[in-house]
Amino acid sequence: MSEFDSHRRAKIVVIGLAGLGMMLTSAFAANSDCHGVKVDVTKAREQEFGPLVASAMTNKVKPAQVKFQTILESGKWSAVYFSTPVADDGMMFFQTVNGKRRFREVWGGYAVPSEKPELVSWAKKLGVPQDLAKCFAKTVTERK
């Protein structure tokens, strides 16, 4: 193998590793909006939030009819992305006051990624922490 071939292969390996690094950085950045905020949807959380969502709705549903896709938590704030048989999917926001979760607002509708800044701003006006606001915006604009 000539010195030229070795140098060329080394360049290809370096370029390949640089490309991999950029892909991993992009993947990390995409997930970082919800890092530390998005929590598992567990039975205990469903049992806690089901009655809260049901009682906040004008169209009455049973807590067991509330289905959760995403639960977000940051400090004294929580947000749940949910569906019911009687309303469009939505994200409800709760704030813990004196040890009790209180309904604050609901967001419903359809949003596209270009609307993330407006969604973050809307959530922050409620008092929602920055990390939860960013994860909320990511969640509702990147729904599957």
* Tens digit of each residue's pLDDT (9 = 90 or more) over 41-96: 999 999 999 999 999 998 889 999 999 999 999 999 999 999 999 989 999 999 99
Query: Which pLDDT belongs to residue 144?
Result: 58
99 or 109: whose pLDDT is higher? 99
Cα distance between residue 106 and residue 13, in whole Å:
50
Could you tell me the pLDDT band of residue 105, with boundaries at 50, 70 and 90?
very high
Strand partners, 68: 82
Strand partners, 73: 78
| Torsion angle, alpha carbons of 9, 15, 17, 20, to 10 | -140
Query: Which pLDDT belongs to residue 129?
Result: 98
